[in-house]
Amino acid sequence: MLKTLSINNFTLIAQAEIPFQKGFTAITGETGAGKSVLLKALRMVCGDKAQASMVRTGESKAIIEGIFDISNEPKVKKIVEDLGIDSDDELVIRREILENGKGRTRVNGNMVNQADLQEIGEHLIQMHGQSEQLLLRDTRTHAQMLDAYAGNAKLLADYTESWNAWNDTLAKIEETQTRAKDLAAQKDFLKFQYDELSKAALREGEEEELEDKVNIASKGETERNCINDIQTLLGGDNGLLDQVQILQSKMRTLASKIPHYEENLNALADVADPFESVCKDLLRLSPAKSLSPAEIDRANSRIAAIQKLKRKYRTDVAGLIALTAQRKEELESLENLDADLEELGRQAEKFMKSMQAASIRLTESRKAAAEKFDAAVEAMLQTLGMPKAIFKTSIEKQDYAANGADKIEFMLAPNPGEGAKSLQKAVSGGELSRVLLAIKTVMAELDAVPLLIFDEVDSGISGEVGNNIGVALRNLGKHHQVLTITHLHQVASRADNQLAVSKQEIDGRTYTSVTNLDADGRVDELVRMLGGESATVREHAKQLLENCE
């Protein structure tokens, strides 16, 4: 419930600190005093758009702050918690409107945007005026109201579960059909790529292994050729070893004939012996086993094939292997899509039957509840100045939707001889306000919004009807906090609390003030509303209040 509303420099209100109590509060005052300004301030707390004209002339900003007790409002607590705002049992909504029309909004000191504020406001306050698009103008709320009256939460949840499952399955069918169509159009292309890639039989690291083998084979070929050449030079016919032996033989012959060559023979021996040892070692060399030329050609061909695939598909070997698996999966999926579609079709049929059954139960409950609901609202309207009004809930078959297969709309025939017409267009603002009051009274214990505001619900009526409206609002105040702007003393006297809005001019400036009336203040205000000061009028005002205690 709303505990306090503080207003500073908001149009005609320079400063006001307004306390609010439980039950039914009447807001009264002369025409033009500024009652609409008070309601506009409440709308700002609910998330209405700010305008520069709202800032009092000569001031830099306007400030409106509402303090709410949300100890019994779990939905509001959940919204606030989801926004990361600490709340406990109290919520402080503060709006600052700058002279350029921009502003700031804080909830318990935390900045929030307008959309978040509107979501919070929808669960705190319902405002019903004559000139705006009211709650009842939106036919979507008609089904919500009827379901709340009928207690259809469980039936609606069962239907919604089947509805969601059915729609999810239809979406999967559509997605599968689209995928099948796309894959079918690409089947030849996918198969060509898969055949090419799978035939290549690629594996991770193969390219590196082949390159290593080719490099090693290239070194082995050099080794083998060199060894063969060395062994030919050394051990072949007339090779180096033979030539050295011939040289030694000639030198030995020379030394035997001419002694001074003995020294040269010895020097030659010192060189020849190590040389012969090295040559014999080289002659015994055997090159490491290497790939054959054919094997090297095959390895090089394989490397070339891998590199060609990499260039073609613009990826590495790992990417080619992944693409092979992807193409295989897509081809297998194409083969399995028909079976998938058949299974999805069976599921959709199952969910549809479940949804249809739930829809029938929901419709039956709504029709049964509508008879009682219509009678109760119609009876209440007859006490609110519409004695001949006929109220009817129209329930027509429609395509399956999120809330069932029923098009639900409240209809009203305000006067005899007129056919029932939609509340959406054909009902006046005053009539609509009374219809809403009747509905709210019938549903008083079911409505979750704590604060209901009615703007001149008694417009165009008087006498006993006005008294009945006051009684209805007072009874509604037993279940909600109710605020109503009224010009009828019959309505104001039935209120639990009363606020008086007045306007005065000081030094050429207009000031609107809001006063929380005590018992004597209420008598004074009722005297004004009754038409003027006299002992008889004052006594009548006192009796009105005493009769309502």
- Write the pLDDT tens digit of every residue in 408-462: 999 998 887 777 888 776 566 667 778 888 888 888 877 778 888 887 677 767 7
Check whether 397 has a pLDDT greater than 90: yes
Structure confidence at residue 239 (pLDDT): 76
**What six digits make up the tokens of 303?**
């490397």
Residue 68 counted as domain residue: no
pLDDT band of residue 290 (cuts 50, 70, 90) is: low
What is the helix (H) or strand (E) element at residue 492, kind and residue range? helix 489-493
Among 227-241, 250-264, 463-477, the minimum mean pLDDT is found in: 227-241
Query: Residue 5 forms beta bridges with which residues?
Result: 18, 66
Check whether 549 has a pLDDT greater than 70: no
Residue 272 counted as domain residue: yes
Please report the DSSP string for 146-198 in residue order.
Answer: HHHHHT-HHHHHHHHHHHHHHHHHHHHHHHHHHHHHHHHHTHHHHHHHHHHHH
SS3 403: coil
What is the helix (H) or strand (E) element at residue 526, kind and residue range? helix 519-530
pLDDT band of residue 131 (cuts 50, 70, 90) is: very low
> With helix as H, strand as E and coil as C, how does 70-137 read?
CCCCHHHHHHHHHCCCCCCCEEEEEEEEECCCCEEEEECCEECCHHHHHHHHHCCEEEECCCCCCHHH
Q: Which of the given ranges, 66-75, 263-272, 352-361, has the highest pLDDT on average?
A: 352-361
Classify 84 in phi/psi space as left (phi over 0), alpha (psi -120 to 50) or beta: left
| Closest to 529 in 3D by CA, of 7, 29, 179, 131 | 29
Into how many domains does the chain fold?
1
Residue 118 counted as domain residue: no
Length of the chain equals 549
Q: How far, in Å, CA of 279 to CA of 236, rounded? A: 12
Specify whether the CB–CB gap between 398 and 359 falls below 8 A: no
Residue with tokens 């939707």: 401
Alpha helices in 201-239 (DSSP H): 206-235
Residue 136 counted as domain residue: no
| β-sheet with 2-10: strand ranges across | 13-19, 2-10, 61-69, 90-98, 103-107, 110-111
What is the helix (H) or strand (E) element at residue 481, kind and residue range? strand 481-485
pTM recorded for the entire structure: 0.62
Please report the DSSP string for 15-45 in residue order.
Answer: EEEEE--SSEEEEE--TTSSHHHHHHHHHHH
Q: How far, in Å, CA of 482 to CA of 498, rounded? A: 11
The angle subtended at Cα 497 by Cα 495 and Cα 501, nearest 5°, is 105
Check whether 117 has a pLDDT greater than 90: yes
Tally of CB atoms within 10 A around 158: 18
Structure confidence at residue 122 (pLDDT): 87
Residue 495 counted as domain residue: no
User: CB-hemisphere CA count at 13 Å for 283?
Assistant: 14
Structure confidence at residue 256 (pLDDT): 85
Single-letter amino acid, residue 486: T
Specify whether the CB–CB gap between 71 and 80 falls below 8 A: no
Q: How far, in Å, CA of 449 to CA of 435, rounded? A: 18
Residue 240 counted as domain residue: yes
Domain interval for residue 246: 154-361
Per residue in 40-58, pLDDT tens? 999 899 888 889 999 998 8
- The whole-number average pLDDT for the span 452-476 is 81
Q: What percent of the chain has pLDDT over 90?
A: 40
Kindly tell me the sign of the dihedral angle through the C-alpha atoms of 332, 334, 339, 344.
positive
Residue 106 counted as domain residue: no
Please report the DSSP string for 293-313 in residue order.
Answer: HHHHHHHHHHHHHHHHHHHHH
Q: How far, in Å, CA of 465 to CA of 473, rounded? A: 12
Check whether 501 has a pLDDT greater than 60: yes
Residue 249 counted as domain residue: yes
Strands 61-69 and 509-516: unpaired
Counting Cβ atoms within 10 Å, is residue 341 exposed (0-12), middle (13-18) or buried (19+)? middle
Structure confidence at residue 171 (pLDDT): 94
Check whether 133 has a pLDDT greater than 50: no
- The whole-number average pLDDT for the span 458-487 is 85
The rounded mean pLDDT for the chain is: 86
